[in-house]
Structure 1
């Protein structure tokens, strides 16, 4: 895929999460990613993930999360507070920047690490009885010390949609974005709702454009902090977009304008980052216009 956090995933080796002896054997030669409280990763002087292993980090902390295997090497994520000796002068990098600079496998593992450590950091107590949680299964299960309820990492599904009226693409922008930045429309799935229903509802809520049909294309983990973006292309009538408080603006763009923006050659329109599924959806729609233009 031409977007980040999807390719070259680790073998998550779920069966090892309860095998403490196997995890102990993996630790000395394991690849270790160290993340701070903001979800940024420690890097070397070149902005790359340092070649840390368990022997450099020291004794495996209880907060270490087993991410999986690559070529029989274990990969772990560790909060920076529990790995003080990993770097003498640590610098950090955020996940979006790492997606553009790091090797694909490391960037994908970083996304996985960021999501699960964020969950751990935000779920220290039971939501039913407020007792502290103890973590098991190599960091993937929180068990309440009071009532015994088990808590697992959550992922929030959200649709992201390239809406077309046949010859134009609907894009919107939020007020907080940089000037000229537009993106495909997106929104979270509500309880009791299908993905297709979410597409129709979210597009209408944000733009007053009525979707008539939609089709799933691809997905992308989006750990900002814990979403799964489900990419769709949707057909709609040529309704005039009308925005409420969710968007600052929404409008239709023709293929020539989108093409210039994809080449970063449009003087005003700026699209989503190349690491995002939004950019991929826009490029997918544009490619279809070139191959099979609609009269």
Structure 2
């Protein structure tokens, strides 16, 4: 897909400065700014269309400084400041799409911590990649404080890109879980599904985690069959999207259905339907009486939008 990297969180061009992770003396000699995150929410500017950075000395006693990448002659770090006593709106705090914002008197005027899902389509590709990287690796640190091999506490190393176990010597690195997300078509129609936890009327592309020993193509066919009973023939890769909610890599694929009868697994999915191209245009425009479009910024919206525009090549 020629426009694959125009997906949200794709194609930012971040210089991740991997060489500096192995040379702490060189890293320490460079100037730096820090992107603080509070409960996974990055600090954003007053216009809410870009990230906001602070002096790296601020909040230096909190969390683990993680090298995100180079910026000019210096570097960008990220730090978890969830222990910070913040003020701000609390309604919706922790919700699936959290509209609340939090701030602190030491932060630059007008800035606030805000939910990345609500900001992602307003950020530049580079800012989006920086935010996704920071959110993903800091969440990994939060949930992987102990060795999976022996259970002993681990300590951060390599500028925040490794955790080492002093007891057994095992090194652990940030993980990403691969997920296939499928644009399944049959003629002029596309197959959509709705999770039991989603609002009524909200439909999206089918998706599921890949399993060990499985190709992308096999995972697409298996997940569609398990959830809807539809058999899929040819499958081709389209685009990928880092999805730091909490740590997935969405692998977008196009599959051609060879059957159309739907028999859902109610433990996997609440409902599945075939939607014609003409009806899907109404959905994406927000004019459909029953169906709601996939969330802007998510790869499902990207795939459906480009299917309608005949831009999958």
Does the alignment reach a TM-score above 0.5? yes
Name the CA shift for 1:84/1:73 in 2 (closer, same or farther; >3 Å). Answer: farther
Separation in 1, partners of 2:83, 2:26: 21
Deviations 1:97-117 (A, max 9, x none): 120333332222111001000
- Alignment match, 1:80: 81
- Alignment match, 1:70: 71
Contact 2:232 2:259 in 1 (8 A): no
- Alignment match, 1:185: 206
Deviations 1:200-253 (A, max 9, x none): 100000110000110001100011111000000000124221111111100100
Compare the two structures and name the one with the higher helix fraction. Answer: 1
Q: Does residue 256 of structure 1 match 2:262? A: no
Deviations 1:44-87 (A, max 9, x none): 554453342325x2658671000111333311110115778994
Map 1:1-295 to 2 at 5 A.
1-26=5-30, 28=31, 30-36=32-38, 38-47=39-48, 48-55=50-57, 57=58, 59=60, 63-81=64-82, 87-88=104-105, 91-244=112-265, 245-288=267-310
Secondary structure class of the residue paired with 1:127? coil
Separation in 2, partners of 1:60, 1:19: 22
TM (norm. structure 1) is 0.90
Unaligned runs of 5+ in 2: 87-102
Name the CA shift for 1:145/1:66 in 2 (closer, same or farther; >3 Å). Answer: same
Q: How many residues align?
A: 287
Secondary structure class of the residue paired with 1:101? coil
Contact 2:189 2:277 in 1 (8 A): yes
Which stretch has the larger CA shift, 64-73 or 107-116? 64-73
User: CA RMSD, aligned part only?
Assistant: 2.4
CA apart distance, 1:4 = 1.3
